[in-house]
């Protein structure tokens, strides 16, 4: 069956020193408990190697927040999937709405990134989600369906390795969470879309995380929904205690 996962997305926060301290705190708090989910922290590229050195891999997985759509070469400032992999990372967030919105990432690039991540043995946490206007004009199911279908040239074997994160853009960093019902409806829709292409077994085994102002006070209600398999956590992942409060929602 699919895994429950709570993944932190640190975004462009923390100096190296602060990031290592946060990772140490997360690791220490995880040592004290038996979480009923996999725990992942996705950190800035500059922090990957140092954070990897302080995390115990059986307690918490490490991830990056992006990778290049190119294999290697003359792409100044870019970081490839193989570079990410070489730090000890196991996951990579792809298609975050901030990347789509501020850096113009499109479906074609995201497919290329996903393929390279998979070729390098990384698990993509592939983000989808509608903006406020699309929620309000009722096109949100179609928008998210299109974002998921952008990966439909992947083989079933490859697609089965992906984690999906549904993150309504209007809920990210706004304090405005989707209701548990809204999250459940969209997660069920995504699972149906996956099933239509890859069949029931792969759909049932795909972890679909919710992201968007998830915090200890609302995580339990969200995670109790049958198609919500955990969370991708931004702001609340920057404090080890509150991140752990979300992990504990699975207990």
Q: Which of 47, 69, 96, 134 is catalytic?
A: 96
- d(CA 12, CA 51) in angstroms, rounded, equals 15
Q: Is 167 a catalytic residue?
A: yes
Q: How far is the CB of 232 from ligand PEP (least distance, A)?
A: 5
* Alpha-carbon distances of 113 from 89, 105, 159, rounded to whole Å: 16, 10, 13
Cβ atoms < 10 Å from Cβ of 12: 7
* Closest distance of CB 168 from ligand PEP, Å: 9
Work out whether 213 is an interface residue with ligand PEP (CB under 6 A).
yes
Interaction of residue 167 with ligand PEP, rule CB under 6 A: yes
- Contacts with ligand PEP, 6-25, as mask; x by CB under 6 A: ---x----------------
Q: Which stretch binds ligand PEP (CB under 6 A): 22-30, 46-54, 166-174, 188-196?
A: 166-174
CB nearer to ligand PEP: give 4 or 198. 4
Of 140, 203, 213, nearest to 180 (Cα)? Answer: 213
> Counting contacts by CB under 6 A, is residue 232 touching ligand PEP?
yes
Nearer to ligand PEP, 230 or 234 (CB): 234
Of the candidates 35, 61, 230, 235, which one interacts with ligand PEP according to CB under 6 A?
Answer: 235
- Residue 163 phi/psi, 5-degree rounding, is -105, 135
Smallest gap from residue 111 Cβ to ligand PEP (A)? 20
Q: How far apart are the first and last CA of the chain?
A: 18
Tell me the three state secondary structure of residue 150: coil
Task: Give min distance, CB of 218 to ligand PEP, in A.
Answer: 11
35 binds ligand PEP (CB under 6 A): no
C-alpha span between 45 and 48 (Å, rounded)? 5
| Binding residues with ligand PEP: total (CB under 6 A) | 13
* Residue 56 known to be catalytic: no
Question: Which lies closer to ligand PEP via its Cβ, residue 27 or residue 213?
Answer: 213
Inter-helix orientation angle 216-223/240-247, to 10°: 20
DSSP 168-224: -GGGTTTS-PPPHHHHHHHHHHHHHHHHHHH-HHHHHH--EEEESS--HHHHHHHHT
Of 20 and 236, CB closest to ligand PEP:
236
Residues with a known catalytic role: 96, 167
């Amino acid at each position: 069956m699919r895994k429950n996962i709570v993944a932190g997305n640190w975004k462009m926060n923390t100096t190296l020193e602060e990031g290592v301290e946060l990772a140490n705190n997360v690791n220490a708090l995880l040592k004290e408990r038996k979480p009923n989910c996999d725990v992942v922290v996705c950190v800035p590229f500059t922090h990957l190697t140092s954070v990897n050195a302080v995390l115990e891999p059986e307690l918490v997985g490490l991830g990056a927040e992006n990778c290049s759509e190119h294999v290697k070469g003359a792409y100044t400032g870019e970081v490839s999937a193989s570079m990410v992999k070489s730090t000890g990372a196991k996951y990579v967030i792809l298609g975050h709405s901030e990347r789509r919105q501020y850096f113009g990432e499109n479906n074609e690039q995201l497919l290329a990134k996903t393929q390279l991540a998979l070729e390098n043995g990384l698990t993509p946490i592939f983000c989808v989600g509608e903006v406020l206007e699309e929620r309000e004009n009722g096109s949100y199911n179609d928008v998210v369906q299109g974002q998921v279908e952008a990966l439909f040239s992947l083989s079933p074997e490859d697609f089965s390795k992906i984690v999906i994160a549904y993150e309504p853009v209007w809920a990210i960093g706004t304090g405005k969470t989707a209701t548990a019902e809204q999250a459940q409806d969209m997660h069920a829709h995504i699972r149906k879309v996956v099933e239509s292409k890859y069949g029931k077994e792969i759909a049932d085994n795909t972890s679909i995380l919710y992201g968007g102002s998830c915090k200890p006070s609302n995580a339990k209600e969200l995670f109790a929904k049958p198609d919500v398999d955990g969370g991708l956590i931004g702001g609340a992942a920057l404090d080890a205690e509150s991140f752990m409060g979300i992990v504990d929602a699975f207990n």
